[in-house]
Structure 1
Amino acid sequence: MKSQRLLIIGVIIAVALIAVLAVVVLPGLSSPPQPPGPDPTWPVATQTPTSAPTPTPAPVPGNGTYVNATYGYAVTCPEGWFYTESGESVWFSSPDKHEEVRVNTNPLQKDADPEQVLESLNATYAEDLRSGIDAEWVSTEKLTLDGVPGYKSVYSVPLPVPEGDRYDFIIRYAVKDDVIYSVMHTVFPPKYDIYNIDAAPTAESFRFL
């Protein structure tokens, strides 16, 4: 349940990025992040067709730090976690293989204005998440992502069962060297996922190389 919900959010975020980038920086970007193969239990509208095989999770290296040399960042995970790479998206899973954290990278054209891109994302995230998963916007604030100016947005998302329970979806995003970096994690009630307590520290460990 939980891993599917974060995956669906990842698809919505990718769609929002495509819409913003098409307006702000014009077509011609590399392809957006691709999620794993569709789960037959998802609503049809949330599935993303793909001919590629489902990526296989790999254990995070013994020192606990995943390094992405292509986009120049690192994330430190607890012992026993896994990482899965798919195009420009990497997600980090707890020992029970539930996705807890995701990092998306979306290249920009070199003449794009970073602040304009971030402001446009702010204007589209809330509406897309509300219509896609009934998320309620909670807050947006300016901050830095490992020293790079950016934003942090928090959304409250309903859980299908039991009715009335909700979880938080948190995304931090910034532009560095003509790339949008989006770092996402979930905050679930403890009874849903004993490993989720490590999601925030893992996301906050993100750093540029």
Structure 2
Amino acid sequence: MRSRNLLIAGVFVVALAIVVAVLLPGLSSPQPPGPDPTQPPAPTPTPVPVPGNGTYVNTTYGYAVTCPEGWFYTESGESVWFSSPDKHEEVRVNTNPLSGQSATDTENVLEALNATYAEDLRTGIDAEWVSTERISLDGVPAYRSEFSVPIVDEERYTFVIRYAVRDDVIYSVMHTVFPPGYDVYNADAAPAAESFRFL
């Protein structure tokens, strides 16, 4: 199941890149060059236990997420994912800074993301769009989109993304909802994702 989650994360990164680079030209910062093939690859991030109080705080982007006891977090660039005691990813928070973004462009960014997700997830993991609604992400206007993703045979899981723009940054909070019996810890994924709050 981890490979499917990593694929979802990859599709998500592609969606953000499309929005930033194509739909919103001029808003992204210059990207650093790719890795030097003569250098050894960067080490894989290591999961770290969530602090004793259960709350992970990201001071760089100003948010917090509260997880159950025994969970781990892994930071990798502008993504942080939260995994259950068996190290299975359950929740992910991605941040994507937008240089020069103004409040009047926020709705355009959200609509562009919304339009891109359905196609990218369908193409990448055969996900079917289920619904999109306007919500609030800790008081900030946002969208919540749901997708149905095949597992095996007729079984599917739900992939939920909540995304908002605050202070020139796109915040995306994602979690999965598996059928009973697939992941004993998955019942905690939605509450952990919903605990997301700005500092």
TM-score w.r.t. structure 2 length? 0.91
Say whether the 8 Å CA contact 2:57–2:65 is kept in structure 1: yes
How far, CA to CA, are the matches of 1:148 and 1:28 in structure 2?
A: 22
Q: Give 2:95's aligned residue.
A: 105
- Quote how far apart the aligned CAs of 1:55 are: 0.2
Q: Does 2:19 align with 1:26? A: no
CA–CA separation in structure 1 for the residues paired with 2:110 and 2:142: 7
What letter corresponds to residue 8 of structure 2 in structure 1? I
Compared CA separation, residues 15 and 100, structure 1 to 2 (3 A): same
Please give the alpha-carbon distance, in whole angstroms, between the structure 1 residues aligned to 2:95 and 2:101: 17
- Tell me the percent identity: 73
Q: What runs of 5+ residues in structure 1 fail to find an aligned partner? A: 33-49
Give per-residue Cα distances to partners, 1:24-61, cap 9 Å, x unaligned: 142642659xxxxxxxxxxxxxxxxx932110000000
CA contact 1:16–1:128 (8 Å) conserved in 2: yes
Letter in 1 for 2:106: P
* C-alpha distance in structure 2 between counterparts of 1:63 and 1:26, whole Å: 41
- Indicate whether 1:8 and 2:7 are aligned: yes
Tell me how far 1:85 sits from its aligned partner: 0.1
Equivalent residue pairs, number: 189
Structure-1 separation of matches of 2:25 and 2:169:
12
Report if aligned partners of 1:25, 1:108 keep a CA contact under 8 Å in 2: no
Distance (whole Å) between structure 2 residues aligned to residue 93 and residue 156 of structure 1: 21
Q: Structure 1 residue runs of 4+, over 3 Å off?
A: none
Q: Are the counterparts in 2 of residues 155 and 168 from structure 1 also a CA contact under 8 Å? A: yes
The answer to whether the aligner puts 1:191 opposite 2:181 as a matched pair is yes
Give the superposition deviation at 1:6. 1.6
164, 168, 172: which one aligns with 1:182: 172
Aligned mates of 1:185, 1:30 — CA distance in 2 = 30
The aligned residue for residue 129 of structure 1 is 121
Measure how far apart 1:178 and its partner are. 0.2
| 8 Å CA contact retained: 1:187, 1:199 | yes
Structure 2, gaps ≥5 residues long: 33-39
Q: Deviations over 1:140-179 (max 9, x none)?
A: 00000000001000000000x3x11000000000000000
Q: TM-score, normalised by structure 1?
A: 0.87
Q: Secondary structure at the match of 1:4?
A: helix
Secondary structure of 1:96's match? coil
The residue aligned with 1:73 is: 63
Amino acid at match of 2:129: W
